[in-house]
Amino acid sequence: MKARFLRFAGVKSRARGASTVGLFLTLFASAAHAQGTAEQRRACTPDVYRLCAGEIPNVRAITACLRRNRGSLSEACRSVFDQAGG
């Protein structure tokens, strides 16, 4: 029983993290006065998990983290920041 609960809790936690990242990217796009597209969200989600997972769910901290790590961003995510002027 305990193993099943722990497995369910892990799935729920990952789902919450993914939705948080989606929210972050939507807010990031809104802050840049542009509607975030699904393509833009796909471009930066791996970088958020790779570079800034410890900042989730703090949107401002994630944005600052991505800016600090701009040199380590994937080309796709870097282009999203370039388009947003960030």
pLDDT of residue 72: 96
pLDDT of residue 58: 86
Give the dihedral sign, CA 13/39/80/85. Answer: negative
Under a CB-based contact definition with an 8 Å cutoff, are residues 44 and 24 in contact? Answer: no
pTM over 0.95: no
Tokens of 54: 């410890």
Residue 57 DSSP SS3: coil
Give tens-digit pLDDT for 3-35.
555 555 555 566 566 566 665 555 554 444 333
Helix (H) or strand (E) holding 40: helix 38-52
Can the peptide bond before residue 46 be classed as cis, meaning omega within 30 degrees of 0? Answer: no
- Is 80 exceeded by the pLDDT of residue 43? yes
